[in-house]
């Protein structure tokens, strides 16, 4: 350990006994915050992003305080003018911070006090940073979820347009990534549209739970001042109030709602991306993705890589990580507010940025994918995709389905031995396997007929798919979302 000089000891003593006047909470303290602690605890580098929401909440709070006579009308007007000037400076990129500002709330308050004097210190009457940050985050997420829903709708509209334009193409449907049965491309794309409709519902449900006002809960127990919480809620467009002051300042369920809905949405994106990656490969060759959404290789000149789709797939794990991080953050917190909650901001900011960027890029990429209908249809001619149709045929001849399944399985095995597809087998060959096969079996070994027979609700028959596309237009145009 390096020994301190006498002069250094005197200097350190003066430093430790000087009152901390720069901190809004410094009256209790006799020592300055350690610089490394100050940097470690500061949230201003990331929650600076919340400034317009902090200003919006402060404006509503100030108006309420003036209405209630807690502030004079003159003080209220002075505070409102000062807050708007700070917001303008932020919008112009002229507002800067240092770690000593701690967080966005202290930054605004310090700038306001510097601008209008002691009246600025009255703004914090009847509130705490605990209910203030909960408000800011709810306001932020409300805007983010609304914007994400609109961006997702654009993706839905573009995907629907693709299904309507190219959806008549036929391709193999897969199970276990093995060719299974023929389906219409529109039917395949409609599956993703159904997923995205559920995502829209989840976003709307998350938005409803976000839209409760926490302000007025103060630190945890409410306030002694005669505030008007409902007036503030109406001013800020909230549907109602957070009912319990302790819950209001410590609740982050609304953050988890957003991250959970966003994670499920990204999972759906990842599945779509996986299909696009596979379909763009030489092995499938079902699609060509526009060059603007692909990149090349630094060593192999011929390569065209579906990097956007791959990164959407990869970033899904990143969003999952943020959900698990906040769940873990919350699991051991005692009532009520704890500084741990500061850690939710970077997670939710990055997650929402990632989800929204993925949504926008997929929405732009889908109309610029060329579907190779001939190649898709060619792929349906191999792999015995009509085997189930043959089993269904045999049931119309009186066989139970299990017997029919076994018979067709034997038939497929024999066809593989002979290197032929089912459609190429002569009737005599079929009858060697089972005498129930008759001349009418040819109608069951036809691709278009196979599709048309899948006419059960939700099936891939062309008529059913046309109705599903029409119904999807109405689903996408829903107007009962709360945004």
* Per-residue confidence (pLDDT) for residue 465, from 0 to 100: 98
Does residue 267 register a pLDDT over 90?
Answer: yes
* Per-residue confidence (pLDDT) for residue 31, from 0 to 100: 83
Contact 69, 224 (CB under 8 A): no
The phi, psi pair for 18, rounded to 5°, reads: -75, 130
* Per-residue confidence (pLDDT) for residue 410, from 0 to 100: 96
pTM for this model (two decimals): 0.92
Where do the domains of the chain lie?
A: 40-124, 129-378, 379-476
Strand partners, 73: none
Strand partners, 239: none
State whether residue 181 is helix, strand or coil. strand
* Per-residue confidence (pLDDT) for residue 22, from 0 to 100: 59
* Residues sharing a CB contact under 8 Å with residue 48, sequence separation 6 or more, in sequence order: 97, 104, 107
Band (81; pLDDT cuts 50, 70, 90): very high
Q: State the average pLDDT over residues 344-352.
A: 98
Tens-place pLDDT, residues 285-339:
999 999 999 999 999 999 999 999 999 999 999 999 999 999 999 999 999 999 9
Contact 340, 326 (CB under 8 A): no
Does residue 461 register a pLDDT over 90?
Answer: yes
* Per-residue confidence (pLDDT) for residue 7, from 0 to 100: 40
- Determine the CATH number of domain 379-476: 1.10.40.30
Q: State the average pLDDT over residues 132-149.
A: 98
Return d(Cα 257, Cα 263) in angstroms, integer.
10
Residues of the chain with pLDDT > 70, as a percent, come to 95
* Per-residue confidence (pLDDT) for residue 10, from 0 to 100: 41
Does residue 256 register a pLDDT over 80?
Answer: yes
Contact 291, 304 (CB under 8 A): yes
Tens-place pLDDT, residues 269-284:
999 999 999 999 999 9
* Per-residue confidence (pLDDT) for residue 328, from 0 to 100: 98
Topology classification of domain 129-378: Fumarase C; Chain A, domain 2 (1.20.200)
CA distances from 51 to 305, 309, 349 (A): 40, 34, 14
Tens-place pLDDT, residues 368-422:
999 999 999 999 999 999 999 999 999 999 999 999 999 999 999 999 999 999 9
- Determine the CATH number of domain 40-124: 1.10.275.10
- State the catalytic residues: 176, 297
Tens-place pLDDT, residues 4-19:
444 434 433 333 333 4
Does residue 2 register a pLDDT over 60?
Answer: no
Return d(Cα 265, Cα 259) in angstroms, integer.
10
* Per-residue confidence (pLDDT) for residue 4, from 0 to 100: 42
Within 64-205, strands assigned E span 170-175, 178-184
Q: What is the mean pLDDT of the chain?
A: 94
Give me the residue label for tokens 């119309």. Answer: 396
């Amino acid at each position: 350990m390096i020994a301190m000089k006498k002069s250094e000891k005197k200097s350190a003593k003066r430093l430790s006994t000087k009152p901390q006047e720069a901190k809004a909470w410094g009256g209790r303290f006799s020592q300055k915050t350690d610089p490394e602690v100050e940097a470690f605890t500061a949230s201003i580098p990331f929650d600076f992003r919340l400034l317009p929401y902090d200003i919006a909440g402060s404006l509503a709070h100030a108006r309420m305080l003036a209405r209630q006579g807690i502030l004079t009308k003159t003080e209220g007007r002075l505070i409102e003018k000062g807050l708007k000037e700070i917001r303008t400076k932020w919008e112009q990129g002229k507002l800067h911070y240092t770690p000593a500002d701690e967080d966005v709330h202290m930054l605004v308050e310090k700038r306001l006090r510097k601008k209008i004097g002691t009246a600025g210190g009255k703004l914090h009457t009847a509130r705490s940073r605990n209910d203030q940050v909960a408000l800011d985050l709810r306001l932020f997420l409300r805007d983010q979820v609304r914007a994400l829903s609109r961006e997702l709708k654009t993706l839905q509209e573009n995907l629907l347009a693709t299904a309507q334009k190219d959806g008549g193409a036929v391709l193999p449907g897969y199970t276990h990534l093995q060719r299974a049965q023929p389906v219409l491309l529109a039917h395949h794309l409609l599956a993703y549209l159904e997923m995205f409709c559920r995502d829209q519902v989840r976003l709307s449900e998350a938005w409803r739970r976000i839209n409760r006002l926490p302000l007025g809960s103060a630190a945890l127990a409410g306030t002694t001042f005669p505030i008007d919480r409902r007036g503030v809620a109406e001013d800020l467009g909230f549907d109602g109030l957070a009912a319990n002051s302790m819950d209001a300042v410590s609740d982050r369920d609304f953050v988890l709602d957003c991250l959970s809905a966003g994670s499920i949405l990204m999972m759906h994106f990842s599945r779509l991306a996986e299909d696009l990656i596979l379909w763009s490969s030489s092995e499938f060759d079902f699609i060509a993705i526009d060059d603007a959404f692909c990149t090349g290789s630094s060593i192999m000149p011929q390569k065209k890589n579906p990097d956007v789709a791959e990164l959407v797939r990869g970033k899904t794990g990143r969003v999952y990580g943020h959900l698990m991080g906040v769940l873990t953050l919350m699991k051991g917190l005692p009532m009520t507010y704890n500084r741990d909650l500061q850690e939710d901001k970077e997670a939710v900011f990055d997650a929402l940025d990632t989800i929204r960027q993925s949504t926008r890029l997929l929405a732009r990429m889908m109309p610029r994918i060329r579907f190779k209908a001939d190649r898709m249809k060619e792929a349906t001619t191999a792999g015995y995709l009509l085997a189930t149709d043959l089993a269904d045929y045999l049931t119309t001849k009186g066989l139970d389905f299990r017997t029919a399944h076994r018979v067709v399985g034997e038939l497929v095995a024999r066809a593989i031995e002979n290197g032929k597809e089912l459609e190429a087998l002569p009737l005599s060959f079929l009858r060697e396997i089972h005498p129930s096969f008759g001349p009418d079996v040819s109608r069951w070994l036809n691709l278009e007929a196979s599709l048309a027979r899948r006419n059960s609700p939700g099936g891939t028959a062309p008529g059913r798919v046309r109705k599903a596309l029409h119904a999807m237009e109405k689903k996408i145009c829903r107007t009962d979302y709360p945004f």
